[in-house]
Amino acid sequence: MDTESIRAAVLRLFPPGTPAPEVARTLRENGVGRDGVSSYFPPDRDGHAGIRVEFDPYEPGWVKRSFGVSMRFDSGLLTSEVEAREWWTGL
């Protein structure tokens, strides 16, 4: 798993023009926010939203990978941009 494959997967689910309520519903239906390692932050007043996927607590090792997806919504609350990022977290 890398940032490009995550970005591509998000764009397959939510192509440009997807309404914000559909994004929230689909993420919720797929367990985001209910699994203990992921969360969704809906669009703020500037149209920025985010998805965080934290490290897997059952994966061995002291340093773990986490991912974030930044989503941008236009003034009509339709998706317009997606960017994925990765960072490392030490326990």
Q: What is the mean pLDDT of residues 48-68?
A: 83
Helix (H) or strand (E) holding 65: strand 63-73
Tell me the residue range of the domain where 46 lies: 3-90
* Residue predicted with more confidence, 41 or 59: 41
What does the pLDDT read at residue 59?
73
The total number of structural domains in the chain stands at: 1
Query: How far apart are alpha carbons 21 and 32 in whole angstroms?
Result: 14
Query: How far apart are alpha carbons 20 and 50 in whole angstroms?
Result: 12
What does the pLDDT read at residue 36?
81
Average pLDDT, the chain: 91
- The radius of gyration of the chain's CA atoms, rounded to the nearest angstrom, is 14
3 state DSSP class of 44? coil
What does the pLDDT read at residue 91?
60
pTM: 0.84
What does the pLDDT read at residue 90?
74
Instruction: Assess whether pLDDT exceeds 70 at residue 51.
Output: yes
What does the pLDDT read at residue 60?
77
Distance from chain centroid for Cα 82? 9
